[in-house]
Structure 1
Amino acid sequence: MKVVRLLILLAVLVGGLVVGSLNSDSIEVSLGFWALRTTSGIAIIVSLVLGTLLGGALVAAGVVIPLYARLRRANKALQVRDQAQVAAPIPNPFDGH
């Protein structure tokens, strides 16, 4: 599994290098109060990374965190139920009653 991760990392790195080298035109990104001069390849890579991070954060906030909350509630309910069953005496069918 580590070899597969290493190969994927290497492929992404090579892809980033190719995008950066093929897009070497100088651009200026104006943010209203600040201007950033960079190459178009770096701007493309940075925007892809920021988009990926923002998308992952939105998925985590919208899906993963609520599912963990439901799982915690379900585990607490299960523990309460198990404790209630342990506290109640179990009748013995062989005691003659």
Structure 2
Amino acid sequence: MNILRLLALLAFLVAGLVVGSLNSQRILINLGVAEVVTTSGIAVVVALLAGVLLGGGLVLATTVIPLQARLRRAERAAAQSAAPAPVPPPDCGQGS
């Protein structure tokens, strides 16, 4: 599985390098308070990376974290119901 991940990483790295090298026109990005001069290839790759990170963060915040909390609650409830009932201490024969 690790070799598959490494191959996927290398494929995306090569794709990013190809996009960056084929799109070498200079562009000016105006952010309101600052201006960034870059190439169109770098702008495309950064925009794609930002989209992946924002999308992953949204999925994490709206799906994964609530499901993990629900799983923790379910495991806690299952552990409590599976735990044996506490046994009262035996009567030592000392009268009351």
- TM-score bin (small chain): 0.7 to 0.9
- 1:82 aligns with 82
Q: Which residue of 1 aligns with 2:94?
A: none
Output the TM-score relative to the length of structure 1: 0.84
Q: Output the CA distance in 1 between the equivalents of 2:31 and 2:21.
A: 25
Instruction: Report the equivalent of 1:64.
Output: 64
Task: Give 1:45's aligned residue.
Answer: 45
SS in 1 for 2:51: helix
Correspondence for 1:31: 31
Q: How many residues align?
A: 87
| In 1: Cα distance, 2:33 partner to 2:19 partner | 28
Cα distance in 1, alignment partners of residues 60 and 20 from structure 2:
30
Structure 1 letter corresponding to 2:4: V
Q: Aligned with 1:32: secondary structure?
A: coil
Distance 1:70 1:10 in 2: 36
Identity of aligned residues (%): 56
User: Would you tell me which structure has more helix in proportion to its own residues?
Assistant: 1
Q: Work out the CA distance in 2 between the residues paired with 1:38 and 1:63.
A: 36
Tell whether 2:4 aligns with 1:4: yes
Deviation at 1:88? 6.1
Distance 1:3 1:81 in 2: 43
Computed over aligned residues only, the root mean square deviation of the Cα atoms, in angstroms, reads 1.2
Confirm or deny that 1:17 pairs with 2:14. no
Q: Give the Cα separation in 2 of the matches to 1:68 and 1:7.
A: 30
